[in-house]
Structure 1
Amino acid sequence: MNRYFQKGHSIDLLFTVSLFCVFALSALGVTAAGAVLYQRTVSQERSDYNLYTALSYIEQKLKACDQAGGISLEEEEPGTVLCLHQEIGSSSYLTYIYAYEGSLTELFIQADQEPDFSGGTPLLDIADLDLAQTGQGLFSLTVTEPGGASQTLLWQSETFETGGKTP
């Protein structure tokens, strides 16, 4: 009898199938772990983007209005709002920045108009905007995003030397 044509053992097939199953399960596990990690990364990046963009936007607005009498905090209907005073041509304008119904919102009106805070333009999704003047022209701005993460910007006015008032 020729030994090359002998019947194989069932253990050979079982070992091959088992090895394939281990490989397939390992590949599936690595793929699932990668998907979870990617999802967390995207979620964190979205949160960081909202916080950074909101604070950067407010900071640029503050820099643009950093002049005598240009920046103030006011208590209005939606809470404490950032009020920026501007002269464009011969007209005076006010820009209000505030949190309203889950959004960072901006309202731009002429200075002699009564503000309607429900008519502002929503900019970004945020949970809260906490504004405070902590001292000699120093403003504290804290943005909280819907997931609960928050970030604070401390901004010092270059033109105001005594807490937002001209010297």
Structure 2
Amino acid sequence: MNNRQKQIHTIDMIFPLIFIVFFGFCAVSLVLSGAHIYQKTADGLKQNYTVRTAVAYVQEKIREYSSSSQVEVLTEHNQTVLALYEPENTGYVTYIYLYKGKLRELFTKKERGIEWESGQELVSADTFSVIKQKEDLLRIHLSGSGQEELVYARIYGEDER
């Protein structure tokens, strides 16, 4: 009887080993699945946040200027360019435009014009358009990375014309 108790069968070792391997496989699969879902969610939020933030930034830049004579919508090389002129005739202007898939901002002297590649990159974008609906109302459309935003910005303040 002593011999029977000491005898270990192969199945006695294989079953716990298979159980541990199966548990490890399930744990790793669960972690990888969760990481994939988290990555997709984070990417979606980042894309949505990026386009919304860029549109909000453009809206706030427009609100910084107190008259409609300081805000102008230009068309250069078949592209929409938003020109924001500094007050008190300082001769400086801020251009916001789309160039090579990036929304850019350029602060420069008015007489220098737009040096397309010199602008500070704000965000990746596919389309950017600004339409002057009324003297004090702009329609801004920006899209990129599968996201699209359409907002209106009002120019507050007295016109100095």
- State the TM-score, normalized to the length of structure 1: 0.80
Answer 1 or 2: higher relative contact order, Cα 8 Å, separation at least 6: 2
Call closer, same or farther: CA 1:107–1:47 in 2, change over 3 Å: same
Q: 1:149: Cα distance to partner?
A: 1.5
Call closer, same or farther: CA 1:72–1:16 in 2, change over 3 Å: same
Is 1:70 the counterpart of 2:74? The answer is no
- Aligned counterpart, 2:143: 144
Give distance in 2, aligned partners of 1:148 and 1:130. Answer: 16
Give distance in 2, aligned partners of 1:13 and 1:134. Answer: 79
- Aligned counterpart, 2:21: 21
Give distance in 2, aligned partners of 1:68 and 1:154. Answer: 14
User: In the alignment, is the contact (CA less than 8 A) between 2:68 and 2:135 conserved in 1?
Assistant: no
Q: Which runs of 5+ in 2 are unaligned?
A: none
- Aligned counterpart, 1:115: 114
- Aligned counterpart, 1:106: 105
Q: What residue identity is the alignment partner of 2:130?
A: L
Call closer, same or farther: CA 1:66–1:3 in 2, change over 3 Å: farther
Task: Point out the structure with the larger helix share.
Answer: 2
Paired residue total:
161
Please provide the CA RMSD for this pair.
2.6
Please point out which of 150, 153, 156 is paired with 2:154.
156
- State the TM-score, normalized to the length of structure 2: 0.83
User: In the alignment, is the contact (CA less than 8 A) between 1:143 and 1:150 conserved in 2?
Assistant: yes
Q: Which runs of 5+ in 1 are unaligned?
A: none
User: In the alignment, is the contact (CA less than 8 A) between 1:80 and 1:130 conserved in 2?
Assistant: yes
Q: 1:97: Cα distance to partner?
A: 0.4
The secondary structure found in structure 1 opposite 2:87 is: strand
User: In the alignment, is the contact (CA less than 8 A) between 2:103 and 2:123 conserved in 1?
Assistant: yes
Q: 1:157: Cα distance to partner?
A: 2.3
Output one character per residue of 1:4-55: Cα deviation in whole Å (capped at 9) or x when no partner. 7331333322321221122011111101101211221231232133213311
Give distance in 2, aligned partners of 1:10 and 1:68. Answer: 87
Q: What residue identity is the alignment partner of 1:157?
A: I
Of all paired residues, the percent bearing the same amino acid is: 24
